[in-house]
Amino acid sequence: MKQLDTSQIKMMTILYEAYKKRQPISKEEIPVSLEKSQAYSIQHAVTAKKIQDGEQLEGYKISLTSKETQDLFKSKTPLYGALTTPALSDGQIQLDSMSSPLIEMELIFIAKEELSINDDVHQLLEKTLVAPGIEVPDSRFEDWFPKITLEQVIADSAVAGKIVIGVPKDHIRYEQLEKLPGKLTLDGTEIAANDSSEVLDHPVNAVKWIVEELASHGLSIEKGMAISSGTFILPKTLEKGIYEASYGEIGSVTLTVH
């Protein structure tokens, strides 16, 4: 991990304190002039602080996997954020425990062994389980979507909030995830639908992207880690009720928001 300078240490502390105290900060607290490499250094330092304080690194989330979301944040590539223990939800969320939460439909890949940059997409599927998932992005910034910069998103661990992981399936083939239909309902009413081609044309492409991107930062996907691979839909504001995300033969998963 790169050594932070004084100003970056201050930014890391601000983000970590906002995370621990669940008190959002203004966008002015993290300068828009931040460079991408600096933003990742701050993110990694925040993650290290979480681990130092007893959390475990459970995996990573990938954001900006569609052209539409990349355009919102003026990016040509996806980005990633770390998921630590509190990010894993049992499918029950108290709305007032979050800051400005959204909801997304994402497949979750779970590594059966360490993933390598030398793995092709078929080998990556052989090395992972695939589960239906829901992601609830949340930010340490006030009024954040889509009003913060790419670098602010990265520093804030890609606005990692919560993920819900359904029952994983093994031995999933590439063809099974090609244009896989996805549907999101709230209290039984459909509120969004799209297919997996929204995620870098195929979700396993997102897995390959993050394996290579993490390697460039000296990091890796290890056995047991989860990858929230990118949303099928534009994020929607989280409300109280019962959500169900269904993904054809991969199955479905529910989230109850109180």
Residue 1 lies in a domain: no
Give the domain range for residue 42.
Answer: 6-257
Residue 11 lies in a domain: yes
Q: How much is the pTM?
A: 0.95
Residue written as tokens 């900060």?
A: 25
What is the pLDDT, as a whole number, of residue 144?
Answer: 85
Residue 220 lies in a domain: yes
What does the pLDDT profile of the chain (258 residues) look like in tens digits? Answer: 567 889 899 999 999 999 999 889 988 888 888 899 999 999 999 999 999 999 999 999 999 998 888 888 888 899 999 999 999 999 999 999 998 899 999 999 999 999 999 999 999 999 999 999 999 999 999 888 877 889 999 999 999 999 999 999 999 999 999 999 999 999 999 999 999 999 999 999 999 999 999 999 999 999 999 999 999 999 999 999 999 999 999 999 999 999
Q: Look up the CATH number of the domain holding residue 12.
A: 3.90.850.10
What is the pLDDT, as a whole number, of residue 68?
Answer: 86
Residue 140 lies in a domain: yes
DSSP the chain: -PPP-HHHHHHHHHHHHHHHHT--B-GGGS-TT--HHHHHHHHHHHHHHHHHTT--EEEEEEE--SHHHHHHTT-SS-EEEEEEGGGEE-SEE-GGGSSS-EEEEEEEEEESS---TT--HHHHHHTEEEEEEEEE---SBTT-TTTS-HHHHHHTGGG--EEEE---BSS--GGGGTT-EEEEEETTEEEEEEEGGGTTTSHHHHHHHHHHHHHHTT----TT-EEEEEESS--EE--SEEEEEE-GGG-EEEEEE-
Question: Quick one: 189 exposed, middle or buried, by C-beta within 10 A (0-12, 13-18, 19+)?
Answer: exposed
Residue 67 lies in a domain: yes
**Number of structural domains in the chain:** 1
What is the pLDDT, as a whole number, of residue 1?
Answer: 53
Residue 176 lies in a domain: yes
Residue pair 220/211 in contact by the 8 Å Cβ criterion: yes
Question: Quick one: 118 exposed, middle or buried, by C-beta within 10 A (0-12, 13-18, 19+)?
Answer: exposed
Residue 162 lies in a domain: yes
